[in-house]
Chains A and B, each alone.
Chain A
Amino acid sequence: MTLSPDISAVSEHLHAPTWQQGELRLICDARWQETHDVVSFRFHATEPLKFLFKPGQFITFHVDIADELYHRSYTISSSPTRPHSLMVTIKRVEGGRVSNYLIDNLQPGHSIRASGPFGDFNVVDIAAERYLLLSAGCGVTPMYSISRFLTDTHGHRADIAFLHSASTVNDLIFADSLKAMSQRNDGVDINYLIQHVSDADELSNNMHSSKLNAELLTLLVPDFQQRTVFVCGPQRFMDAAQALFAACDFDMSRYHSENFAQAMALENPISGGNFQLTVAASSRVLSAKQTLLDGLLEMQLPIIAACRSGVCGSCKCKVVKGEVISSSSETLTAAEIEQGYVLACSSHAQSDVDIDLAS
């Protein structure tokens, strides 16, 4: 491409229309390996477009695999301060139908349908002066977007303590970019907790061979009690982090975790069995990978499912018998949860289940 001396070429992009909400078609223009099992994909729109979203939010991809439409949500790992492209970063998951499909098949030039952005886990709805970003594995993706956004907009004034846990030194995602970010922005302090260290590993000063614990937390982030905490990672990590902060008498109103990470883990559901889903007089067998919503749709029952990501709440239904596990209960009140309401899109049966759609 020849750069025109005419500034209008730049202007065209700067004044491109903005995408804030809704469905659109994205074209993949690059992909690269972040680690052996994690791939980042960069997308642009079909026409010049600026992507406006809140750092930490996710986007839902609508992917047709073998004539079955799947809806999967992925955190946007890029920052809205660099709005001309959109990035998502995907980890290969054992048995993960969509994630693995995208890693195996999505190449530059291919298009994909997407909608969004969705999610309350972001630094616009949860604004603070000082942040502690706590992530593990692929949970780094919203933190990367947030860090990029805060340093782009606040420079040295951005105050971010970033603690990321990885299985090995070879599983660090965005390590080089984050290193550059911390070198150029005094307020960004990054530490890594490495779970499995071998003798051959050379750990830099900010890498620690340890799991997250109170002692290390206090050592690395002495002022953590004054910070607003964002947590994202696999369920076990999230549970451990929550227990740790609760034990430290942390003010949990400043503790925010991303439920969506559970949905990612749930792409491969926990239970392997087939269960009977019953609604009024009809019933059908749910396979292990199917959500309650999948079953209800197959039964052609009148249920609205707008986002299919556990965000909009339209697929609310009541479990009257049986056990389900849910990755999201956004929009449900505590009373509703108590009464047995779940979001069908985000729930998998753990036993035979009876659903009431009437109440």
Chain B
Amino acid sequence: MYCIQCEQTIRTPAGAGCSYAQGMCGKLAATSDLQDLLIYMLQGVSLYASKLRAFGVIDAAVDTFVPKAFFSTLTNVNFDDERIIEYARLAAKMRDSLQRQYEALCAERGETPAAFPAAATLNLAADKPELLQQATQAALNRGDNLNEDILGLRLLCLYGLKGAAAYMEHARVLNQVSEEVAGRFHEIMGFLATDSNDADKLFATAMDIGQLNYQVMAMLDTGETDAFGHPEPTQVNTKPVTGKAILVSGHDMKDLELILQQTEGKGINVYTHGEMLPALAYPTFKKYPHLVGNYGSAWQNQQKEFANFPGAVVMTSNCIIDPNVGQYSDRIFTRSIVGWPGVTHIEGDDFSAVINKAQSLEGFKYDEIPHMITIGFARNALMNAAPAVVENVKNGSIRHFFLVGGCDGDKNERSYFTDFAKSAPKDSVILTLGCGKYKFNKLEFGDINGIPRLLDIGQCNDAYSAIQLAIALSEVFECDINELPLSLVLSWFEQKAIVILLTLLSLGVKNIRTGPTPPAFLTPNLLKILEDKFGLRNVSSVEADLTSILGAA
């Protein structure tokens, strides 16, 4: 196994990356290797899909399948070998079909078929031991005497594209697809199969991925607001109330809607968890009185929070971690690309298994003291508040904006983000998004002339809303985004955060701070280039960073 995609990957003096029997996420070596093989096969599909596009052939099923299956290899998504193998076989079948179409069209036109990299030609073996043998040729660090900077750039692209693929799938669920985006995706996926050693090209590709993802986030924003309305500032209870209960985690709000529809009148309360919290601010979801609030916090606490939750749990997307630790594997359900061996996976739109499980469980026996927090400051709400915000900036009441958010995780160093939010001066406004918000979103921050000092924008992908606010402010103040009194302090954990970072860099946003540690796949050389080019740097201490930011502002 060789996996270095998340923030918690093993780092030793001898080298970084999970390369033993099991990754830090709990993924076994075999699962990791099969995921590499799947990616390899998907690259083969993309290679043919790209070529066929030149002939005007676009296959919607292929455009859907590749990003979706790629999503299954994101951190903490799918740990089920059988499902990964199934995806790989589907990819092989799809690739073979595309290959036949391509060759037929070439013959028809009298053209010689192009030469393809190895990923386009691998024939999958029949059984798992042989597949694992084959996986060695698909290893992400394949090749002899591989330059580590080149490897770092390849991985930056691959992991970034994986994040974009995840958002493409989220958008697709909400009927947002784009042939142009899919085409660009296949092109980059195919390019990565070539094992390029061209540092400039790889770097440019990383920026392309950032731009591609900007489009994807816009699509997802459209999908969510078309389907569920525009989020509005909303008070949300974060404590349980008496009754049977279902907890919905992950990012897929379509699933939440189906669950709410199917639990209506059944005496079951539905709670959001982790990245599902922002759903509570959408008009569509406010129609359901049995959507009673949010339970728990970010993904890394799920083994304790799900264990204590006396109902059924649905994991609609990342992040899932071992449900056997907290002994709730019999009452957690996976959806879509999520998988855990032995856990019930729900295909289709029928959630009766979840509902029956919730009915059979005790539920909450008591109402706890409510703890209300305010959420729902996505694009529209922010734009509505913009005139007041601008006024307060002009009259000096608001000195600075901080965007503090991203992914959460369980390392102690992540207390940096709590301390940062707490230490931000009283005349500053903190925007937040992603599950990184749980580091401080239940604390009191007060307001500045009626403008809450903590504005929760939404899920990680709602970075799109933050970008729109920044663009709007830069227009009002007639300056460049980088001249705004705005600083970004991002916590990262997995590949969605990587692609959002690429998007911000590709938009020219400078001086972003990230933490708690730099990605292990970025070498000192690459980090230096990113710092020189974009002012990108790792967080240091809260005091030093605040002094540096505010001193420079």
Contacts and interface: CB of A to CB of B under 8 A. Distances in A.
Contacts of A107: 369-370
Interface string B361-378: 000011111110000000
B365 A110 contact: no
Contacts of B367: 109-111
A63 B442 contact: no
Contacts of B369: 63, 101-102, 105-107, 110-112
B297 interface: yes
Most buried by A among B297, B367, B438, B443: B367
A102 B368 CA distance: 12
Interface string B413-445: 000000000000000000000000010001100
A111 B368 contact: yes
A27 B442 CA distance: 24
Contact of A66 (B366, B370, B371): B371
A43 to B, nearest CB: 12
A66 B371 CA distance: 8
A46 B370 contact: no
A336 B297 CA distance: 43
A66 B368 contact: no
Interface SS, A side: mixed
A201 interface: no
A25 B371 contact: no
Interface string A171-211: 00000000000000000000000000000000000000000
A243 interface: no
Contact of A67 (B297, B365, B366): B297
Contacts of B371: 65-66, 105
Interface residues of B, number: 11
B370 A25 contact: no
Contacts, number: 33
Nearest to B422: A287
A66 B365 contact: no
A105 B370 contact: yes
B443 A27 contact: no
Nearest to A66: B442
A27 B366 contact: yes
Interface string B46-89: 00000000000000000000000000000000000000000000
Nearest to A105: B369
Chain A CB within 10 Å, residue with most, of B368, B438, B442, B443: B368
Nearest to A108: B367
A359 B530 CA distance: 51
Contacts of A46: 365-366
A105 B438 CA distance: 21
A110 B370 contact: yes
Nearest to B239: A64
A102 B334 CA distance: 38
A101 B443 CA distance: 12
B443 A110 contact: no
Contacts of A112: 368-369
Interface string B438-472: 10001100000000000000000000000000000
Contacts of B365: 46
A267 B370 CA distance: 22
Interface of B: 297, 365-371, 438, 442-443
7 contacts: A46-B365, A67-B297, A102-B369, A105-B369, A106-B369, A107-B370, A112-B369
Given A46-B365, A110-B368, A110-B370, 7 more contacts: A25-B366, A66-B443, A101-B369, A105-B370, A107-B369, A107-B370, A111-B368
Kindly list the 9 A-B residue pairs having the minimum CB-CB distance in the complex, ordered from nearest: A66-B442, A111-B366, A110-B369, A105-B369, A110-B367, A106-B369, A109-B367, A66-B443, A111-B368
